Structure 1
Amino acid sequence: MKKISTKIAAFILIAILICACNAVKRVPDGKLLLTKNEISANNKSVKDENVFDQLYQKPNSTFLGYRLRLNLYNLANLKADSTYQAKFTNNPGKFERKSKWLSVKQVNRLGKSFWYYGIHEFLKKTGEPPVIVDKERTDKSLLRLKYYYFNNGYFNVAAAYKIDTLSIKKAKVNYEITPGNPYFLDSIKSNILTPVLDSLYQTIASNTFIKSGNQYKTDDFENEKNRITNHFRNHGVYYFQPNYVTFDIDTINKVNLANINLLVGNYSFQDGDSTRTEPFKIYKIIDVNIYTDYSPSSNMMNITDSTTYKNFNLYSQGKLKYKPRAITNAIFITKGGLYADNKTVLTTRYLNNLKIFNYPSIQYEVDKRDTTAQSLIAKVYLTPRKKYSFGTTLDVTHSNIQDFGIGLSVSETIRNVFNGAETLEIAARGNIGSSKDLANPKDNFFNVVEYGLDLKLNIPRILMPFNTDKIIAKSMIPSTLITAGFAKQRNIGLDKENFTGALSYNWTPKINHTARFDLFNIQFVKNLNPKNYFNVYGSSYDALNELSKEYNTNPSYYNNPLDKDLLIEKGTLGFTDDVLTGNANFLKPIDPADFQAVKSIDERRLRLTENDFILATSFTFSKTTKKDLSDNNFYLFRTKLESAGTLLTAFAKTTNQTKNFSGNYEIFNLEYSEYIKTEFDYIKHWDLSKEKIFAFRSFFGIAIPFGNSNNIPFSRSYFAGGSNDNRAWQPYSLGPGSSGALNDFNEANMKIAISGEFRFKLLGSLKGAVFADAGNIWNVLDNVVDVNSTFTSFSDLKNIALGTGFGIRYDLSFFVIRFDLGFKTYNPANEIDKRWFREYNLANSVLNFGINYPF
């Protein structure tokens, strides 16, 4: 209690110090602290962030209206070194006394300690120096404002500013803009001196950014210039550059109207000491030369091996190590074709995607053999990566199963393994972790163990017995991925072995579109310790144990006559079998509801302990508008359709296989899973400026068993709760429906999730967020009959749970560390009149730790 009181007192003291800070403490005499910028246009206040972005000077940042970073800076001693030394200069005896029980070196080093020096450096780096009103920067801001309005068609803009002193050493700057009336585009004409370019332009003229009636915007002219340049350079005009496109803007004798004349001159080049001009030429590719083992560090190339394949010339300084097709498939520059920038970019992208070369270099030179000087030789320089590379990674992990984990993996990558640009990766991994939810009678901290071996073979083409180029063109950068893996784990007490294998095809139909087709995806899950089920799933054991005390008469099922707790596994299985078969005497007749409860417990035990064999085929498609990592204004859509067991059933019926006693087909003496599953995931981010972002996510998934199955395997089912889901609930602790998560590791076969999160900057790399998460899981069309857990109609949407809360994030640039505190706002497991805000308190809150953003 004493420690807590001390912490509270320290917190209050720091708060008082910060609040008591004088904001103008470090503002020099005669200077003014900038507290606010105001912009008005035609005497109306402007709120547009694009306009405020033109200003060179902006006030110090605030947190909830308070200049926290400024005041942190003001708390710092800017001359901590000299202050420390002054203590001894003014009192020499003090230095001698300290040096007696500390050495002279230690006394000097004390000045660099955190208390004397480090804390002030921290305050300076975390804080912000005061923003002083600067006339030169204010003048530049005014000029940029005028340019901004001019570039948006206000050619007669006038601007002024005035500095208003608010109090001692504080001021705001008022920018007053008088834009006048904007100019609009009137007639649009073009004058292109090279006839062949004029013909090319006419094919795209209708898609121009510059249209009669539009308000003048400089950006439209830049976009049009780039559009024309791209079109010309993609149709053979090798020497064309954006500076050849100019615009004549005529406003003479016009009232807020401008006539536009698009001008494209002839090609200008240096010929000796003089400059010449001539019409632009269309260039064709006469040869494509590929140098497969180019070394940038060497100026000489000693070619000893070469071959020609489909009009491509391949050269090597040693023996050619690649099958020609493997390289030429990645080259989109073709002999006899026109020069095109987009083909160069696509070739570079494909070659880079092979991951067997360093970034390729593609150069063009005019063929001196062509007297018309309209032929180019394309030279592709490839620098191979090392054939073998070894890698290790050490990870600290947090997941829905593990509270804490340490993972080590080692891998060996072999490039061009079959001389067809294939890449083979062999990886071994191991992981130890801790889980408080794991059945752990010995109370070991590291109670999760996993190790495995994975093989991945990537082939840079569609591996099929027939040609697929007409279906999936090579411009879509297709590839085939063959994977196989084995893993053994002890994570939820049943101790599993997991065998996986897949044959997948990947391609990109368009930029920012991806498609994946898994011809087959095999998973075999073997439970090594099914007898431990009731030790792991304690809620199931408790429910069964309570029922046994009402009905059981067999003393051999109990641990002792006094407690009468069922033995695991003799008692649990014995009592369950007695109830379901009716071959026993009971203390009283079995109530139908209790019979159904025992049946449900046993069905869940069988489902979660049985070995699973899944043979699935799936198709996944995703589309995003995200341009790069810094893009915060985008959307992502992903959908997946998966079918499992259908091929096996078709084969069984065709070959007249017999069913087992349960009426199901088997493979390797094991009932295989049969279901169809579909998912839809949509994420949208809005950039609200000033590092404020609103992020939204919606997810719907459903898996329907049929034929050989009446339930979905645990590995293919859905759960709710956790750091990447509804953050007001722990993983697996929400749902299904309004059942109240009666079981351990609750899961179901349908899920709805909707989340919204507002993200904002706090201090430097420290970010904040407020969020709302809604959703739940349900059983539908499977063997679960509990009405509280099943989805039967749209009225069950009333059981969607709502969690709200706030969080902090620390951006380390390569990943984000995240803490979220979620509160149960609407809990469908409670009685109808007690669902809203009854658990909205710290006692029922959930603290989540995560890596990177939840969506």
Structure 2
Amino acid sequence: MKIINVLGHFRAKIGVFLLLLILSSCNAIKKVGENEFLLTKNTIYADSIKISEDQVKNLISQKPNSSLFGYPLRLNLYNLAKENPDSSYQNWLHRKEKREQRLNSFLSKKQVNRLGESFFVKGYSNFLKRVGEAPAIIDTTKTRKSTERLQAYYGSKGYFNNTASYTILPKKKRKRAEIDYNVILGKPYSVDSLSTRILSSDIDSLYLDNKEGSFVKEKEQFDLANFNRERQRLTSVFRNSGVYNFQESSISFDILRDTTKLRDDQKMDVQLNIKNFVGSNDQSKSQEYKVHRFEKINIYADYLFNQDIDSMQSIEHEGYTIYYKDRLRYKPNALTDAIFFEKDSIYRDLDRIRTQRQITNLNTFKYPNIDFEQDTIQSRLITNIYLAARSKYSLGLDFDISRSDIQVVGTALSGSVFARNVFGGAETLSFSVRGSIGVLSDQSLSEETFTSEIGGDINLTFPRIWFPLNTEKVIPYYMLPQTRLSIGTNFQQNIGLDKQVFNTSLAYNWSPSNFVKNTLELISIEFVRNTNAENFFNVYNNSYQQLDAIADNFDDPTEFPELADFFVVDADNPANPFRLGIPNGTTGFINSVTAAGFPIDNEDLGNVRSIEERQRRLTENNLIFSSNFTFQKNNRIDTNDNSFYQYRLQLESAGNVLSAFSSFIPFNTDDNGQKLVYGIPFSQYFKTDMEYIKHWDLDKGSVLAFRSLFGLAVPYGNSSSIPFVRSYFGGGANDNRAWQVYSLGPGRTENVNDFNEANFKLGFNLEYRFPIVGDIKGALFADAGNIWNVFDNVNDTEATFNGFSSLGDIALGTGFGLRYDLSYFVFRFDLGFKTHNPARIGSERWFTDFNLNESVFNIGINYPF
């Protein structure tokens, strides 16, 4: 009853708030003056054709107020604020003759003044103005500025004689108007011929060798953007061809025609000018650009500012001179392999960038300082690379708050000790321990409320590929290669049956480009031990209820005396007082009814054996000896880039090496014929995951995000099913948000198990994200997908994928959410509704569970994709 009262009170408050917004929307022009207009729309026409390109629309200085689905929310919030709360407070204070005097005697003069600064008097108005948006009142100064921008933009596209004007169109609604911008383009100019004036002979030669890639071409329409691209291209060409000191400002273009005079041909001649390097304001001291080669490359290890270089010792190694003090603490190759300059080779800007990246990748030095000394006569360079070492040892301490599909919220504390350059080759050794505690998102998954985990890891990282064969030609150092050796363990409690996990791996990372990252786990060994297997029927309550329902047919001790010891009295259920005890009762009952000759019908026997198989699979320990490769590509430039794509492909193979060894070394086998390693059957399967994410940056801060996921794990050889830790699940805050985690599928089934999982998954997510007020943003989403069993030991046709007809079992969840953006991370609240529920039959699948009672509320941190 209290819950109903609270909900009613909450709805009433929401209703009042919405009513205020609706009333304020009727007065959107509340703060628009008599001779002013509220801007409602901008329209741009070029030669009478409507322009919709964002690049052109963004040239307009003044834009209409933002809206949420056509409703000017931020404008109306702004209108709710008092224009001058200080004056209003003073008027109220002095409205009655002795009001101020009485308040001063009751509170004090200081408190009365502070009352005028309080949230209820002044603060709420400031808050509404801050999160709201002032009315976009048409300003002709800004409008004229917009026309100038339009003229400049189209002039940069070759329409030198274009004209731009604007027209203010009042609307029928009072004090509202639109603006039409009209641009008369005229005929565009084109490049008739391109000549050059290059003072440096080296530059002239390089230009002729790289002329083909020019952005400025004869007979094409003039476009200033192409001239800027050409300047950038030539600068890159010259600086990567030996001209280390080339400056983009040395490049200019001259138009050899007066474009203000009208002529019929609309053609012009363009001259490319490249001046020499000017080292001072005195033009007479300019230097001719030359191609430079490296005369000497000096590496200063452990360099300190103001260090006396003359007192340092040095060694020569493969064309490099390495300076050090007292003793050299690094293997020479560890330093020279990170340097991409070579003696007698030409300077390349690309090599400088790669050198800086690889030295940083060593994780041993701070950002390097690279200096060049020029011999102007012989065009030779002496390069000095100063390396400042980071601390040999460091301590890291992290405190994290996280959210997952299992936990509503989790907190983790971890500590790490780092040791750098442990073997003299810039290796990094780290020891870390961690502990976490979390609150279960769905407490029906366990009798406990909290989860806990404690673990530790040892990692050794090499800034190169550590392999018996030389891999430098395949994976050169500019790809930032790394080798990681790791070993670790962790203990989980109150998640499923409680687990202890041991893992070790040998992995390689490298990045062929800024947007691509590859990871190869050559060897990955994971041992998963269930530490509380006897608790299976307490945790997996659905399985217990199914087994106990079958056992109700055999709980008569006079008819089945051999089963009597397996039942206990349930005093809370007088209608059905006998239930199976856990664990002895459930184990004994399964063993008895599945024995040959026991009088049980085939359907019940099949269900009992299915439950037994499920129990065996979920309580058995797993040994996973695998290799996997992951390819990731993400073309996102930075965190402000909202138009990008991301692709991930992962291939994993497990058990093949052990299976090959079994041909030479006979393994023991269990009753099911599975080969055992130290009494544990090893898993054998092939798994692939493909994920594609695409974001589109829409108008006014809105983003459309899409994700597709395909996952398939096929058991074979020594396995008839996939280990639980490698299987797929549906539902949760990062998947289909209309279902709780692990509650979706497989296929048409519904909550067959407490943790529903399978080995095949399809997922599709579409989300429209839009700003609401300030840092608060909204989202509308549609999540589709499901999990199925395929190529394994599950025969239930409702849970298996049976061809294209099974695509009709794809679940669809739709909903809306709120996000609070804190820049560093985002708090996320989503409400999902079951739009298409494959567990229903026929037409009942659609919208039957589309109601608040069946909705799922999700709390998350950061965006789901």
- TM-score w.r.t. the length of structure 2 is 0.93
Q: Deviations over 1:164-196 (max 9, x none)?
A: 444654443322111123334444444544333
Report which stretch shifted further, 514-523 or 88-97.
88-97
Q: Does the aligned pair in 2 maintain the 1:771–1:804 contact within 8 Å? A: yes
Q: Counterpart in 2 of 1:210? A: 216
Output the CA distance in 1 between the equivalents of 2:755 and 2:340: 52
Q: Matches of 2:332 and 2:90 in 1, distance apart?
A: 73
5 Å-filtered alignment, 1:831-850, equals 831-850=841-860
Structure 1 residues 769 and 809: CA distance shift in structure 2, 3 A = same
Query: Greater RCO between the two (CA within 8 Å, min separation 6)?
Result: 2
Aligned equivalent of 2:383, options 378, 385, 389: 378
1:111 alignment partner AA: G
Match of 2:521 among 515, 518, 521: 518
Alignment of 1:23-34 (within 5 A): 23-28=28-33, 30-34=35-39
1:489 and 2:504 are equivalent in the alignment: no
Aligned mate of 2:357, from 332, 341, 349:
349
Describe the superposition over 1:787-831 as per-residue Cα deviations: whole angstroms up to 9, x where unpaired. Answer: 111113222222111112222212111111111221111111111
Match of 1:294 in 2: 303
Alpha-carbon offset, residue 254 of structure 1: 6.5
Instruction: Describe the shift of the 1:491–1:112 C-alpha distance in structure 2 as closer, same or farther (beyond 3 A).
Output: farther
Matched, 1:637 2:647: yes
> Which letter does structure 2 place at the counterpart of 1:815?
F
Q: Do residues 613 (structure 1) and 623 (structure 2) align?
A: yes
| Structure 2: distance between partners of 1:274 and 1:398 | 63
Q: 1:184 to 1:18 in 2, by over 3 A?
A: same
Shift of 1:520: 0.7
Does the alignment pair 1:723 with 2:733?
A: yes
What's the CA shift for 1:101? Answer: 5.1
1:34–1:132 CA contact under 8 A, matched in 2? yes
- Measured in 2, the distance between the counterparts of 1:541 and 1:390 equals 48
The AA in structure 2 aligned to 1:294 is Y
Equivalent of 1:705, from 711, 715, 719? Answer: 715
- Distance change >3 Å, CA 52–CA 485, structure 1 → 2: same
CA RMSD of aligned residues (A): 2.5
- What amino acid sits opposite 2:130 in the alignment? K
Provide the rounded CA distance (Å) in 1 between the counterparts of 2:692 and 2:476: 28
TM-aligned CA distance change 1:577 to 1:189, over 3 Å: farther
CA gap 1:600/1:469 in 2 versus in 1, 3 angstroms: same
Secondary structure class of the residue paired with 1:727 = coil
Match of 2:185 among 179, 183, 187: 179
1:333 to 322, 338, 341: 341
TM-fit CA distance, 1:726 = 1.1
Q: Are the structure 2 counterparts of residues 657 and 215 from structure 1 closer, same or farther at C-alpha, using a change threshold of 3 Å?
A: same
Which of 60, 64, 75 is the matching residue for 1:70?
75
Asked if 2 retains the 8 angstrom alpha-carbon contact of 1:293 and 1:384, the reply is yes
Q: CA deviation at 1:632?
A: 1.6
Partner of 2:328: 320
Contact 1:186 1:257 in 2 (8 A): no
Contact 1:364–1:376, Cα closer than 8 Å, also in 2: yes
Residue 743 of structure 1, CA deviation: 0.8
Contact 1:152 1:217 in 2 (8 A): yes
Aligned CA distance change for structure 1 residues 16 and 662 (closer, same or farther; 3 Å): closer
Classify 1:515/1:440 alpha carbon distance in 2 versus 1 (closer, same or farther; 3 Å): closer
Query: Which residue, 771, 779, 791 being the options, matches 1:781?
Result: 791
CA distance in 1, matches of 2:377, 2:34: 74
User: Measured at CA, do residues 255 and 809 of structure 1 come closer, stay the same or move farther in structure 2, by a change above 3 Å?
Assistant: farther
1:391 aligns with 2:401: no
- 1:238, distance to aligned residue in structure 2 (A): 2.0
Letter in 2 for 1:469: E
Give the letter aligned to residue 297 of structure 2: V
Which of 508, 512, 516 is the aligned partner of 1:505? 508
Cα distance between partner residues in 2 of 1:438 and 1:160: 66
Residue of structure 1 equivalent to 2:119: 114
Distance of 1:308 and 1:695 partners within structure 2: 55
The equivalent of 1:50 in structure 2 is 55
CA contact (8 A) 2:334 2:426 kept: yes
CA contact (8 A) 2:364 2:390 kept: yes
Aligned to 2:203: 197
- AA at the equivalent of 1:854: P
User: Which residue of the other structure, out of 578, 602, 612, is the alignment partner of 1:564?
Assistant: 578
**C-alpha displacement of 1:401:** 1.6
CA contact (8 A) 2:277 2:289 kept: no
**Worse-matched range after superposition: 194-203 or 641-650:** 194-203
- Counterpart of 2:451? 448
Work out the CA distance in 1 between the residues paired with 2:263 and 2:469: 66
Alpha-carbon distance change, 2 to 449 in structure 1, aligned in 2, over 3 angstroms: closer
For 2:634 and 2:140, the matched residues in 1 are separated by: 45
- Across the two proteins, how many residue pairs are aligned to each other? 845
Closer/same/farther in 2, CA of residues 85 and 720 from structure 1, 3 Å limit: same
Secondary structure in structure 1 of the residue aligned to 2:137: coil
Contact 1:545–1:565 (8 Å) recurs in 2: yes
In 2, Cα distance between equivalents of 1:92 and 1:485: 78
Q: Are 1:285 and 2:294 an aligned pair?
A: yes
Q: Distance in 1 between matches of 2:210 and 2:719?
A: 57
> Which 5+ residue runs of structure 1 have no aligned equivalent?
none
Q: State the match for 2:316 in structure 1.
A: 308
Aligned mate of 2:420, from 415, 420, 430: 415
Q: Structure 2 CA distance, aligned partners of 1:396 and 1:161?
A: 54
Q: By how many angstroms is 1:663 displaced?
A: 1.7
In the alignment, what sits opposite 2:587?
573
Shift of 1:85: 4.4
1:11 aligns to 2:21 (yes or no): no
Alpha-carbon separation, structure 1, partners of 2:644 and 2:226: 22
**Cα gap change, 1:59 to 1:303, in 2 (>3 Å):** farther
The structural deviation recorded for 1:419 is: 2.4
Residues 74 and 640 of structure 1, relative CA distance in 2, 3 Å threshold: same
Counterpart CA distance in 2 for 1:38 and 1:491 is 61
Match of 1:727, as an amino acid?
A: R
Fraction of identical pairs, as percent = 44
Is the CA contact 1:820–1:848 (under 8 Å) kept in the aligned structure 2? yes
Per the TM alignment, residue 207 of structure 1 is displaced from its structure 2 partner at its CA by 2.2
What is the match of residue 681 of structure 1?
691
Alignment check: 8 A CA contact 1:304 1:319 kept: no
Indicate how the Cα distance of structure 1 residues 144 and 830 shifts in structure 2: closer, same or farther if over 3 A, else same: same
CA distance in 2, matches of 1:847, 1:755: 17
Partners of 1:233 and 1:38 in 2: CA distance: 45
- Output the CA distance in 2 between the equivalents of 1:753 and 1:541: 30
Question: How far apart in 1 are the matches of 2:251 and 2:62?
Answer: 35
Residue type of the partner of 2:240?
N
| Superposed displacement of residue 229, structure 1 | 1.1
Query: Given the superposition, is the C-alpha separation of residues 736 and 11 from structure 1 closer, same or farther in structure 2, using an over 3 Å criterion?
Result: closer
1:522 deviates by 1.1
Q: Match of 2:513, as an amino acid? A: K
Q: What amino acid sits opposite 1:530 in the alignment?
A: A
Q: Which residue of 1 aligns with 2:573?
A: none
Task: From 575, 582, 598, give the equivalent of 2:608.
Answer: 598
How far apart are the structure 2 equivalents of 1:436 and 1:628? 33
Corresponding residue to 2:236 among 226, 230, 234: 230
CA contact (8 A) 1:678 1:701 kept: yes
Residue 248 of structure 2 is matched in structure 1 by 242
- The code of the aligned residue for 2:794 comes to V
Contact (CA 8 Å) 1:632, 1:687: kept in 2 or not? yes
Unpaired stretches in structure 2, ≥5 consecutive residues = 571-575
Cα separation, 2, equivalents of 1:733 and 1:620? 29
Equivalence for 1:131 = 136
